[in-house]
Amino acid sequence: MKAVKFGGSSLADAKQFRKVRDIVLSDKDRHYVVDSAPGKRFRDDTKVTDMLILSYANRKEKSFDQIFSKIEERFNGIISELGLEYSLDEEFAKIKDDIRNHKAGFDYTVSRGEYLNGLLLAKYLGFDFIDPKDVIRIDESGNYDPEQTDPLLTGALKEHEYAVIPGFYGLRNDGSGKIQTFSRGGSDVTGAIVAKCARSSMYENWTDVNGFLIADPRIVHHPQSIRIITYKELRELAYMGAGVLHENSIFPVRSQGIPINIKNTNDPDDPGTLIVESTCHKPEHVLTGIAGKPGFATVTIEKDMMNSEIGFGRKVLQVFEEQGLSFEHMPSGIDTMTIIVNTKDFIKHEQAVLANLHRAVNPDHIDLESDLALIAVVGRGMKDGRGTAARIFNALAKKKINIKMIDQGSSELNIIIGVRNQYYEPTIRAIYDEFIANEEED
């Protein structure tokens, strides 16, 4: 039994709907389908979710009807092109009334793209429809509540051999009866929850690329796809900004050891990327992937003999906690400790942090620097490889890129490189060329 999820680009228009139908019906093991709202059909197009956000913002304005009519046109166009005898007019009328007359909030509004697309896809496939509000519970922070969700969803799936379940939303778990959404991209999370509760043998996540790419294609020209990647590797890369899969979608299936297959709706014969708990497959390259983010700042605290001062690190981190700040990394030396934080979040609190650090640990000196980008070099092949760090240093030295920071976890799964923001993209290209392009030539 397989649970499958299709992204917004896979369900953007009637042409894509036909591809999805062919994929689903070509394998009888594909029992449960999770849908996203219609995405962009072309570069300058507008996603249905964005149109819903705009309609909510203008719910009190005269332009509301005109804005919502474009949403109706989008769905009616798909229905017409597919030649379906089906109408969503009653649903449109109810949603418009709910939004305009303040009967529903923002989360309800933005979830209607998945809801309407799910109704339409279920009709087109001849599948049953399961509304997530009946089976999925989400807390106020947008996190999946397994204690309430799992028994509800498991029971519902047993009653429906084949069904479509819209992604992205459920009900708030506080008994209020209000629609609650996951964070954006949360249809991936819904798909993983369905796969878990259905005890699926596979969770297929269909998108518009041939699997997970080793590097961002906007930075590296035609990067290779990753054929097999572990949950841990994916988590590291997703956290550092690599796209394709919502990072929180790993956890529900990981608890059951269910593999995830990232595949391309427009190229269904490509094997895509298989995400697994563990594997004996030897990696194709030392590195599995490269990802990063610009826009970090460093807070470097200097104090003689800090290493012998009990509770020093705890006191430092407590200062950041009191300001509501999380940290990304914390490299340290004998007499120095550096806290790396997001610049946008930190800059609002920098003076309070400085003052409180002085009070908490009485440092000799504190130095602030912004303009830092972090790049994660991830790969299970690094554990048994030799000279990986040396190759990174050498590749960047050739490009005259100065490394501001390096941090390696004890698992030897990843190395974090810190460079100036201006060297963010050149650093990724240099590392890719050293470990992937050069190995291909060899």
Which pair of structure tokens corresponds to residue 72? Answer: 């109706």
Q: Is 81 helix (H, G, I), strand (E, B) or coil?
A: helix
Identify the structural domains of the chain with CATH numbers, from first to last.
2-276 (3.40.1160.10), 289-441 (3.30.2130.10)
At residue 38, the pLDDT reads 98
Residue 441: is its pLDDT beyond 60? Answer: no
Q: Is 119 helix (H, G, I), strand (E, B) or coil?
A: helix
Q: What is the CA radius of gyration of the chain?
A: 24
Interval 337-390: pLDDT, tens: 999 999 999 999 999 999 999 999 999 999 999 999 999 999 988 877 778 889
DSSP 189-203: HHHHHHHHHTT-SEE
Residue 243: is its pLDDT beyond 80? Answer: no
Q: Which helix (H) or strand (E) holds 166?
A: strand 163-166
**Side-chain half-sphere CA neighbours of 348 within 13 A:** 6
Residue 245: is its pLDDT beyond 90? Answer: no
At residue 102, the pLDDT reads 82
At residue 442, the pLDDT reads 53
At residue 67, the pLDDT reads 96
Residue 296: is its pLDDT beyond 90? Answer: yes
Q: Is 175 helix (H, G, I), strand (E, B) or coil?
A: coil
Q: Is 353 helix (H, G, I), strand (E, B) or coil?
A: helix
Q: Is 304 helix (H, G, I), strand (E, B) or coil?
A: coil
Interval 415-436: pLDDT, tens: 999 999 999 999 999 999 999 8
Residue 410 pLDDT level (bands cut at 50, 70, 90): low
In the predicted model, what is the mean pLDDT of residues 243-254? Answer: 77
- Tokens 């008994």 correspond to 175
In the predicted model, what is the mean pLDDT of residues 45-73? Answer: 96
Residue 237 pLDDT level (bands cut at 50, 70, 90): confident
At residue 247, the pLDDT reads 65
In the predicted model, what is the mean pLDDT of residues 315-332? Answer: 93
Interval 165-221: pLDDT, tens: 999 999 999 999 999 999 766 899 999 999 999 999 999 999 998 888 899 999 999
Q: Which residues are within 8 A (CB) of 327 and not within 5 positions of it... i.e. 6 or more apart?
A: 317, 320, 339, 340, 341
In the predicted model, what is the mean pLDDT of residues 28-34? Answer: 98
Return the ∠ at Cα 278 (arms to 273 and 280), rounded to 5°: 90
At residue 412, the pLDDT reads 74
Amino acid at position 156, single letter: A
